[in-house]
Structure 1
Amino acid sequence: MERLLAELALMQGLLVAFVLSGLIGWERESRNLSAGLRTHILVGVSAALFIVLGDNLVTNFAKQDDQVRFDMIGILGAVVSGVSFLGAGTIFSSQRGEGAKGLTTAASLLAVAAVGMTCGLHLYVLATGATLLYLVTLGPLGLLMDAKKSSEPTKRE
């Protein structure tokens, strides 16, 4: 029973990552952008799970054998690398000279991974604050940028 309660306590980080990543995913989904609600939730919760698993490895096995080494920084780096690879798949260049597309989507995937890792470390206030900053960046600041782009004269080729 004690083990079950301990695992349920670990689920807190995943549940908070689910909610916070979902908020960012919902913002992207509501604007009909390529990576939406489900993708952002999957990335955020997965990042949280990798951190929780890494932390458990350190806690449960590091004391058993001095030869076993654990590197939480390495786990953070692996999550960032994996999500960056995923994000790179969302970026493509326009052949009409309009520049790269999908950069914000890639950045939002990296952002939810960071939120997920923060939740995995049970730093919920920090994760919530970062989520709010990301939402302001994607929402109101995004609308300002869209308005600016629509008011600029179009370039002739």
Structure 2
Amino acid sequence: MLDTIWDELNGSFTEVPPAIATIRLIAALVLGGIVGFEREVRKKPAGLRTHMLVSMAACLFIIVSQQLSSMSFGTQSELQVDPLRLIEAVTAGVAFLAAGIIFTSGGEVKNTTTGASMWLSGAIGLACGSGQMPLAAIATLLVVIVMVLLRVVERWMGTH
């Protein structure tokens, strides 16, 4: 029983049972929230809620695509499931949102890190949705280390 659940959590089945989908969605919310929390603390325009929603939406798109790929839409030769197209669509949508956050003020570009973190939250959600939660957790940890540690280094060097 536990082996079956573990296999499903790791994306080995095409159909995603509701309990597994729920776990993946929650993982996307939590991991996206961790990235968003750092932006929230820094009082950036896209913070905790935005990052959580971006991550969960990306996760949901993957889960829905897995469900759709298991449905009958004709013969096997007529069925075209291309996960790369889905990833492209999600990243394009997130990039659109992230671009809206970035602006120029007084000749200086602002909020590029927040835009990049939103894009990363989308990738974290895609990883969770495809059952790659350990990979998503590692990416979350690394991005938080980069965002926090580099800020400390910048302050120490007096560049920020």
Whether these two folds match at TM > 0.5 is yes
Structure 1 length normalisation: TM-score? 0.85
Contact (CA 8 Å) 1:51, 1:75: kept in 2 or not? Answer: yes
Amino acid at match of 2:119: L
Larger Rg: 1
Show CA shifts across 1:62-92 (max 9, x none).
6755323121100000000000000000111
Contact 1:62–1:70 (CA<8 Å) still a contact in 2? no
Aligned counterpart in structure 1 of residue 147 of structure 2, from 138, 143, 155: 138
d(CA) in 2 for partners of 1:143 and 1:94? Answer: 25
What secondary structure, in the 3-state scheme, does the structure 2 residue paired with 1:122 have? coil
The equivalences for 1:144-155 within 5 A come to: 144-147=153-156, 148-150=158-160
**1:100 matched to which residue of 2?**
109
Deviation of 1:59 (Å): 2.2
What is residue 50 of structure 1 aligned with on the other side? 61
- Structure 2 distance, partners of 1:23, 1:64, is 43
Partner of 2:127: 118
Any idea what SS the aligned residue of 1:33 has?
Answer: coil
Contact 2:104 2:110 in 1 (8 A): yes
Q: Kindly report the root-mean-square deviation, in angstroms, between the aligned alpha carbons of the 2 structures.
A: 1.8
1:88-134 CA-partner distances (Å, limit 9, x unpaired):
00111122x3x211100100000100000000011111110000011
TM-score between the two structures when normalised by the length of structure 2: 0.83
User: Which deviates the most, 12-21 or 63-72?
Assistant: 63-72
Q: Deviations over 1:24-77 (max 9, x none)?
A: 111111111111110000000000000111111112336755323121100000
Instruction: State the AA in 1 paired with 2:159.
Output: K
Equivalences for residues 1-157 of structure 1 within 5 A: 6-61=17-72, 65-95=76-106, 97=107, 99-147=108-156, 148-150=158-160
Q: Which runs of 5+ in 1 are unaligned?
A: 151-157
Which runs of 5 or more residues in structure 2 are unaligned? 1-15
Percent of matched pairs sharing the same residue: 36
> In the aligned structure 2, how far is the partner of 1:94 from the partner of 1:54?
40
